Structure 1
Amino acid sequence: MIQVAQIIFILSVLVILHEFGHYITAKIFKVRVEKFYLFMDAGFSLVKKKIGETEWGIGWLPIGGYVKLSGMIDESMDTEQMKQPAQPWEFRSKPAWQRLIIMLGGIIVNIILAITIYTIMFSTVGQKYTATNVVQKNGLSFSQVGKDVGFKNGDKIVSVDGELVQNKFNRLIIDVLLSDKLIVDRDGQNKEITLSDEDKAKILGAEGKNFMAPRIEGFKIDSILPKSGAFNAGLKVNDQIISVNNKEFKYFDEFSELITNKANDSIALAVQRDNKIVNLKAKLDKNSKLGFLPGLSLTNDKEKYEVVNKLSFGSALPQAMRESWELLVYNVKQFKLILKPKTQAYKQVKSPIGIARMLPDEWNWEFIWSFTALFSIGLAFMNLLPIPGLDGGHALFTIVEMITGKTLNEKTAGYVQTAGMIILLTLMALTFGKDIYQLVMDKIFTNH
């Protein structure tokens, strides 16, 4: 329920402020606003009240919101008023440059919101990121898929598409997935790795961003699965395994290799426990696993990798603007990846249901506001797309009108808006359907 509450809160903030951008610019140019809705009121609304000329309300379908402007064909698909003579307070009566500003008002507010949140966060809790140079100190470890596409445990990523790696590890992971050519430092020598679209599909379809992780020396056991080989052997939390069958290792990935392809085998373990060495016998399961989780994730060792820069307000503002711009650029890059069918990146697109499942189980204001800023830039980018039904589609037609001096006739505009809404609703149905299916399947397998 906390995850649901978080996504509703985040969506509410984003939608209200986005639509407020349209509302305030419309009011500045004296355009009548007939409706202002949080969420869609298809068929009926949960709450509504008319104040002045505007009906304010909350719809029942949490997939966005809208403001209905007089004299404009929008999400409401109300074409009746367009048959009447244009009135001075209507959207269609205003100059093209005013209509363009109104259309871009929501996007502008989304960007301002992100900059504001980041400025406040950077000057209070600090600018936080996972340091790439610290994560890569011992090189990186890769999943089997990572190895299959050309990486090797111990590789250090030097450059991505000719650009030296930046010191934000989470960005580096995205850069790798969006790249064409990488240079890695392998045992002191540079090696080139080229990722095809098929390689990216393998990574995204398996672990996604988790396909590479820090190569951590001297891991400890973080938790043990009940009735597992580790449990039956007597392994305990905080134990440190130092050898398998008398073969010592330094990194967790080396431990994994020592037990690979040993399904149902018994192995001898040397374990360091309370400054003593304990010898144990353990049996692997059918997947060559012992049944424990190592304490070597970025989350578990957060203080080891995280950099916190506490900035003054004056320094925070330009950094917040830079952060917002970089996120916008990453949205463009990810969209280009989605448009490549062979990468199958389109399968990773999530609805609010899928996004909610990614949120933490506890209420964390720092995370919520950080996620809201990230989501706000994503919403701004999505609305910039020149798709009929989105702000970018309306803006494109207005820009064409400003250049050519010709206005799209109302009948054609209606057809275009209808086509755009069909495309958007189809995409929403597909993403919601995928996430609902995944949720149901996860529940079924969890219960069995």
Structure 2
Amino acid sequence: MEIVIKLSQFLLSLSLLIILHELGHFIPSKLFKTRVEKFYLFFDVKYSLFKKKIGETEYGIGWLPLGGYVKISGMIDESMDKEQMSLPPQPWEFRSKPAWQRLIIMLGGVTVNFILAFIIYIGMAYAYGDSYINNESIKDGIWVTNPVVENAGIKTGDKIVSIDGKKVERFVPSVSMDILMSKKVVINRNGEEKEIDLPVNFIGKILDSNKKGVITIRMPFVVGTFTDTSKNTLAVKPKDIIVSLNGVAIKYFDQAAVILKANKGKKIAAVVLRNLKETPVTVEVDKEGKLGIFPGSLKEDNLEKLGYYKFTQENYSFLESIPVGIEKGKNQLIDYGGQLKKIFNPSTGAYKGVGGFAAIYNIFPDSWSWEVFWSITALLSIMLGVMNLLPIPALDGGHVIFLLYEMVSGKKPSDKFLENAQMVGFFLLITLLLFANGNDIYKAIVGK
């Protein structure tokens, strides 16, 4: 059932983005009286799952879920319809339209992608508001969950002051990504501020590690589930919170590791918080210094009741949500541009994180959440828009470059040149597709 939910979210999001992107090309084509021969969700190589012709356009669903397309008459695109292009230009064809109309048609898809993302962020601001922790209220600092981050100089218990010169006011999950993409982080350790210079290949090292994540808030030791070899299934129960080990009080999960490693293979006294009452128990530490317990989690309201953190919920009226959503969309767009810059810089190692369809599929959770679904869809919409703007022939950005050249120089590139450029672009896209999905396969094999 979890796979069905995950797959449903993936296909729904992908289908929505493809259809709206292609509508961005379709609508201005119709406005400028340009014939659209096909409008397809997914690719119909050899055959289609569904097709129906309405007017001059065939609408359909292909069997290959690698994208979608509109086939515009008189345009050199992935169809490489040389027979049509060899005939005299017709008034309804793309090539017969003024350059400014062709430019609008080509920019229509990415424009819709960006507008969609901003609309989603505005809607999410209105529907869900913002939940965050005031950064200054995190008295005991953050939890470093990746040894690469610790080796770079950021330790558990440090307080994040600023990232690349920008003061951290609110602690939200995106702070972790901000650190991943940054060059300098200022932390407060024991009352003293210290500047940490992150290495150029910081992202590459994170990706090479077996650990996911960068930093998070420090969490209590909540009992979740047990390993098959755990000897503590009778001593503690799921949802217990371990607050003492071997006579030493612990507030956070990360504090338990030191005590457990010092008591490998021993039975030690512990105290758990069960139904808000402290209960003494005896736990057995295995030879690896572990209890055989997978940590659980607490909801925000429970963390507040226990005095760990104070979460602020900020709600917005519809009018207030508009600038908030626009700001979120703008920041996401800038952040993704920064990510692409690092990906195309081999020294950062960020290219190792490039993923294909499996990576996108794995972003979606196992349980249905509209908030998470729309958040991911907005991000994917921005990614799709930016990627399509890359100046690669066969992408919208490649067509735009040639159209801008025509508008500035007054000279239209020959059909032969455009055909060759389309083939080069198609080859580059296939190479990128193979690399991205090859990365997915490699990660699945090595278990990263």
DSSP 3-state at the match of 2:82 = coil
Question: Which amino acid is the alignment partner of residue 286 of structure 2?
Answer: L
CA separation in 2, counterparts of 1:80 and 1:332? 39
Whole-angstrom CA distance in 1 between matches of 2:399 and 2:59:
23
Matches of 1:435 and 1:182 in 2, distance apart? 31
Per-residue Cα deviation, 1:171-197 (whole angstroms, up to 9, x for no partner): 221111111111111111110111113
TM-score by length of 1: 0.89
Residue identity matched to 1:409:
S
Q: Does 1:180 align with 2:210?
A: no
| Secondary structure of 2:237's aligned partner | coil
Q: How does 1:44-443 map to 2 (within 5 A)?
A: 44-123=47-126, 125-131=127-133, 133=135, 136-143=138-145, 144-167=147-170, 169-206=172-209, 210-216=213-219, 218-231=220-233, 234-260=235-261, 265-274=265-274, 275-286=277-288, 288-296=289-297, 307-436=312-441, 438-439=443-444
Contact 1:132-1:169 at 8 Å conserved across structures? no
Q: Deviation digits for residues 321-368 of structure 1, max 9, x if unmatched? A: 222111111110111121222333222222222222231223333322
Question: How far apart are the structure 2 equivalents of 1:223 and 1:415?
Answer: 59
Q: Which amino acid aligns with 2:180?
A: L
- Report the residue type matching 1:55 in the other structure: E
Q: Which of 23, 26, 36 is the aligned partner of 1:23?
A: 26
- Assess if the C-alpha contact under 8 Å between 1:269 and 1:280 holds in 2: yes
The 1:412–1:54 alpha-carbon spacing in structure 2 relative to 1, beyond 3 Å, is: same
Q: CA RMSD in A?
A: 2.6
- What amino acid sits opposite 2:51 in the alignment? K
| Percent of aligned positions that are identical | 43
Consecutive unaligned residues of structure 2, counting only runs of 5 or more, are none
CA 1:279–1:121 in structure 2 vs 1: closer, same or farther (change >3 Å)? Answer: closer
Equivalent residue pairs, number: 438
* Counterpart secondary structure, 2:80: coil
Question: What residue identity is the alignment partner of 2:233?
Answer: F
Distance 1:441 1:185, change over 3 A: closer
Residue 193 and residue 410 in structure 1: after superposition, are their counterparts in 2 closer, same or farther (change >3 A)? Answer: same
Shift, 1:91, TM fit:
1.1
Aligned residues of 1:184 and 1:190 also touching (Cα < 8 A): yes
User: 1:10 aligned to 9, 13, 21, which one?
Assistant: 13
What runs of 5+ residues in structure 1 fail to find an aligned partner? none
Q: SS where residue 131 of structure 1 aligns?
A: strand
Mapped contact 2:135–2:168 kept (Cα < 8 A): no
CA distance in 2, matches of 1:369, 1:242: 38
| CA–CA distance in structure 2, aligned partners of residues 381 and 333 of structure 1 | 11
3-state DSSP of counterpart to 1:197: coil
Give the TM-score, by structure 2 length.
0.89
Is the 2:173–2:216 Cα contact (8 Å) retained in structure 1?
no
Q: How far 1:284 sits from its partner (Å)?
A: 2.0
Displacement, 1:106?
0.7
3-state SS of the aligned residue for 1:48?
strand
* Distance 1:242-1:308 versus aligned 2 partners, 3 A rule: closer
* Alignment CA distance shift 1:273-1:12 (3 Å): closer
Does the 8 A contact of 1:122 with 1:309 survive in 2? no
Tell me which moved more, 401-410 or 4-13: 401-410
Asked if the contact 2:245/2:271 (under 8 Å) is kept, the reply is no
User: Which AA in structure 1 matches 2:163?
Assistant: V
Distance 1:319 1:20 in 2: 27
- Please list the CA deviations of residues 142-168 of structure 1 after superposition, one character each: whole Å capped at 9, or x if unmatched: 132321121111111111111212525
Q: Report if aligned partners of 2:221, 2:243 keep a CA contact under 8 Å in 1.
A: no
Letter of the structure 2 residue corresponding to residue 230 of structure 1: N
AA of the residue aligned to 2:393: P
SS, match of residue 21 in structure 1: helix
1:32-77 Cα distance to aligned partner (Å, 9 max, x none): 1111111111222111122111111111111111111111111212
CA–CA separation in structure 2 for the residues paired with 1:29 and 1:157: 54
Distance (Å, rounded) in 2 between the aligned partners of 1:425 and 1:324 = 29
CA distance in 2, matches of 1:335, 1:397: 23
Structure 2 CA distance, aligned partners of 1:139 and 1:3?
A: 34
